[in-house]
Chain A
Amino acid sequence: MLARDESPLKRTPLHALHVARGGKMVPFAGYEMPVQFPAGVLKEHLHTRSSAGLFDVSHMGQLALRAKSGKVEDAALALERLVPQDIVAVPPGRQRYAQFTNHDGGILDDLMVANFGDHLFLVVNAACKAEDEAHLRAHLSEACVIDSLSDRALIALQGPKAESVLAKLGTGVTAMKFMDAGPRKVAGFDCFVSRSGYTGEDGFEISVPAAQAEALVTMLLQNPDVLPIGLGARDSLRLEAGLCLYGHDIDTTTTPVEGALEWSVQKSRRNGGARAGGFPGADKILAQFEKGASRRRVGLLAQGRAPVREGALLFADGATGEPIGKVTSGGFGPSLNAPVAMGYLPTPLSATGTQVFAEVRGQRLPLQVASMPFVPNTYKR
């Protein structure tokens, strides 16, 4: 039964397959998505780290950005007006992590940008995709043609066996390095493959025409090394990898500097760089590069066994005082076999090893600021 005023949930091209595999379907970003399969979150998480996990991320937005001039450099220059990253320097066949910023320096969304030689390929978050597309059209339509690739599914194959599994179906995938991206044939289908993901593991993201998605996934799942993985384990895997979840760890109120994403802003876009500034919120963000920000996203490890979850307030003292920050993501890390969290703290208290406290059910539990990723990543560089 649908609640009043609630629009019906959308389904990805893999919906029937999820249901047939026993996926527990839940609403997520306007879609009906599997939160877990019969193996359960814990086993799905550990299987991805030891073998290979298959994720349906077709709810995410896929866009093509083409310059009207026909030159990809012009599309890159245009996109640089909306992101603080150096897009011009991304060579054909490579992709880069980026953020759309707003005039306050906040983050509208985070995304992947790939150079496909004659155009840019963008992957954005499901919950933001309509706004992102409107944002691109509003600002870049003079220079670029923007196509929403809503007729494509997106899957992720992650884990140490992802390469050997995909190599059986695809050509040229073993030669790819972390963040390589481009059109590839997989099982004869016209796919876009990138060697990247959201788990901290080596792996691939594969964009496939919607009509062929079920056939491709069925072939991948026939390999005994592969299990289907739901959103539950996707979240615990990315949390252990220290990766941000948009809308939680970063949002319109956090800048890339506050979000500890300085590494993603190349020198060419910072003060003194060849194309410094020129993106929304540049004044604030570039000033923070010089002077620092008042708060910072950090990793947090609990000293006990109790998971500290999103929304828990953080304190400097175990007994008294006002909150100094908040947990933005938290839960149990199955590979670490311990609670893991991330959140924001005043910069002076953000150094690794600093002890803080999180309020959980009326008690202040000790936590330590920890470097991320919590679990070392295994990218093939």
Chain B
Amino acid sequence: MTTLFTSDHEWLRIEGDVATIGVTDYAQSQLGDVVFVELPKVGRALKKAEAAAVVESVKAASDVYAPISGEVIEVNEALAAEPALVNSDAGGKAWFFKLKIADTSELGGLMDEAAYKAHTA
């Protein structure tokens, strides 16, 4: 299992041909208190860089982009009921959606943890 990061502050956990995607702890700290999460529909084919989900704080709405292309195979319904999970456990329970990876070569452009830490430092 590998964890990768984007410069837009998303994380991807890669298990076989499935990527689980969420936002980083740094992202949630910048967003502030999350009050609403909108998730993509299961079955939707996402293209890399396409707006896939929305996360809203009291102040503003922010898009979560698909870091890679793929089909949405599962979404985290718990987030709709408890958006504050994004603040309390961004890297764990607050995963957003799972993608069936369309093109593994797209993973090459992503950062590992050390590179992401340097990016947010």
A residues apposed to B, CB below 8 Å: 35-36, 40-43, 45, 232-233, 235-236, 305-307, 309, 331-332, 334, 339, 361
Contact = CB atoms under 8 A, between A and B. Distances in A.
Interface in B56-107: 56-61, 80
A331 B38 contact: no
A303 to B, nearest CB: 14
> Top 9 A-B pairs ranked by shortest CB distance?
A42-B33, A332-B35, A41-B58, A332-B58, A232-B59, A40-B32, A40-B33, A305-B36, A307-B56
Interface of B: 32-33, 35-36, 38, 54, 56-61, 80
Contacts, number: 46
Contacts of A36: 32
A332 B32 contact: no
A41 B61 contact: no
Nearest to B51: A361
B54 A331 contact: no
Contacts of B61: 307, 309
Contacts of B80: 305
Given A43-B33, A45-B58, 12 more contacts: A41-B33, A42-B33, A42-B35, A42-B58, A305-B35, A305-B36, A306-B56, A307-B56, A332-B35, A332-B58, A334-B33, A361-B38
Nearest to A363: B38
Contacts of B32: 36, 40-42, 232
A331 B36 contact: no
A331 B59 CA distance: 7
Contacts of A42: 32-33, 35, 58
A361 B53 CA distance: 11
Nearest to B80: A305
Contacts of A232: 32, 58-59
Contacts of B38: 306, 361
A41 B61 CA distance: 14
Most chain B C-beta atoms within 10 Å of own C-beta, residue among A41, A43, A235, A332: A332
B36 A41 contact: no
Contacts of A43: 33
Nearest to B33: A42
B52 to A, nearest CB: 12
B35 A307 contact: yes
A305 to B, nearest CB: 5
Given A41-B33, A332-B36, A35 B59 contact: yes
Nearest to A36: B32
A107 B30 CA distance: 36
Contacts of A334: 33, 35, 58
Nearest to A306: B36
Contacts of A235: 59
Nearest to A333: B58
A43 B35 CA distance: 13
A45 B56 CA distance: 16
A309 B59 CA distance: 10
18 contacts: A36-B32, A40-B33, A41-B32, A41-B58, A42-B35, A232-B32, A232-B58, A232-B59, A236-B58, A305-B35, A305-B36, A306-B56, A307-B35, A332-B56, A334-B35, A334-B58, A339-B36, A361-B54
A368 B36 CA distance: 19
A43 B32 CA distance: 10
Contacts of A40: 32-33
Contacts of B58: 41-42, 45, 232-233, 236, 331-332, 334
Contacts of A236: 58
Most chain A C-beta atoms within 10 Å of own C-beta, residue among B32, B54, B59, B61: B59
Contact of B36 (A35, A45, A233, A307): A307
Contacts of A45: 58
Contacts of B59: 35, 41, 232, 235, 331
B101 to A, nearest CB: 26
Contacts of B33: 40-43, 334
